[in-house]
Amino acid sequence: MVTAALVKELREKTGAGMMDCKKVLTETDGDLEKAMELLRERGIAKAAKKSDRIAAEGIVEAYVSEDGKVGAIVEVNSETDFVAKNEEFKTFVMDVAKQIVEKNPKDVEELLSQESISEAGKTVQEVLVSKIATIGENMNIRRFARFESEGLVEKYIHGDGKIAVLVNMKSGNNEVAKDICMQIAAARPEFLNRESVPDERVKKEMEILKAQAMNEGKPAEIAEKMVQGRINKFYGEICLVDQEFVKNPDIKVSQLLKEKNAEVVEFARFEKGEGIEKKEENFAEEVMNQLK
């Protein structure tokens, strides 16, 4: 059954019109993923970004060791943006980032069970609980990434804790590493290079691109050639080294790295609340319900 909520969700994810959304959802028996693909094949919607809906509060933070060899990036969520501006909360998040660098937990569960480096005799979980009690709002450590490098690790924070980037460089210097961090923050690559993209993702994209070309009335052999050209654009959007360099769009990131004799090993980009949907509050309705 195609519900109004499903139509609304598809509209928000694709930007397509209500009738187009309703039509493809009917054709796909309410399958959201198939409906999104169908809209793209018909040229009605662009590729949906996984993290378009940013809702949760809190901050993302990064910390790099003094020798520049180890770094961590972490997201800690809170209920309101007021807490994100709280100095005690910000200090706690930075302490967590330092904890990850120094103690190398394998996941959030292990991190929470470790003895805190900032408050001796307490676990990170116990420190978190005490902060919740003090600040008066629920908080949780959502995720983290940690890099150890033979070369250097660099970080970049954007928008007062809205976006954090961490890069592991095999070669190069801090200047080019910082440029790469800013590139990742701005251009949102999903993968380092073409080899990193799963075959299934490429196959699916090529199917969609071919369907688009066929729907434009192109013969099959012409459609195949068009797909080859368009797949390069696809790589140029999702692969870091294939992207245009934001500070100089005349060159690719791969060219910048070659010029600077630099190599990126891996990167992480966290955007506060990406993928989390915040509950919509209707205060007028809430008040009316209380009055009944």
Whether residues 40 and 72 fall in one domain: no
Cβ atoms < 10 Å from Cβ of 154: 27
CA 260 to mean position of chain CA atoms: 27
Helix 32-41 and helix 199-215: axis angle, to 10°? 50
Structure confidence at residue 282 (pLDDT): 52
Structure confidence at residue 45 (pLDDT): 63
Closest Cα partner for 145 from 111, 173, 183, 186?
111
Whether residues 119 and 175 fall in one domain: yes
- The enclosing domain of 156 has a CATH number of 3.30.479.20
Per-residue pLDDT of the chain (292 residues), as tens digits, is: 789 889 888 887 777 777 888 999 999 999 998 998 888 887 766 544 433 433 368 999 999 999 999 999 999 998 888 888 889 999 999 999 999 999 999 999 999 999 999 999 999 999 998 888 888 778 889 999 999 999 999 999 998 889 999 999 999 999 999 999 999 999 999 999 999 999 999 889 888 888 888 788 887 778 777 888 788 889 999 999 999 999 999 999 999 999 999 999 999 999 998 877 655 445 455 555 554 4
Pairing assessment for the beta strands 263-271 and 248-252 based on DSSP bridges: unpaired
For the chain, what is the domain count?
2
List, in sequence order, every residue forming a beta bridge with 171; answer none if it has no partner. Answer: 263
Is residue 147 in some structural domain?
Answer: yes
Query: What's the pTM?
Result: 0.73
- The enclosing domain of 42 has a CATH number of 1.10.8.10
Structure confidence at residue 283 (pLDDT): 46
Structure confidence at residue 148 (pLDDT): 97
Whether residues 101 and 6 fall in one domain: no
Range of the domain at 135: 57-192+263-271
Whether residues 116 and 9 fall in one domain: no
Report the C-alpha gap between 143 and 262 in whole angstroms: 28
Is residue 243 in some structural domain?
Answer: no
Is residue 64 in some structural domain?
Answer: yes
Whether residues 157 and 63 fall in one domain: yes
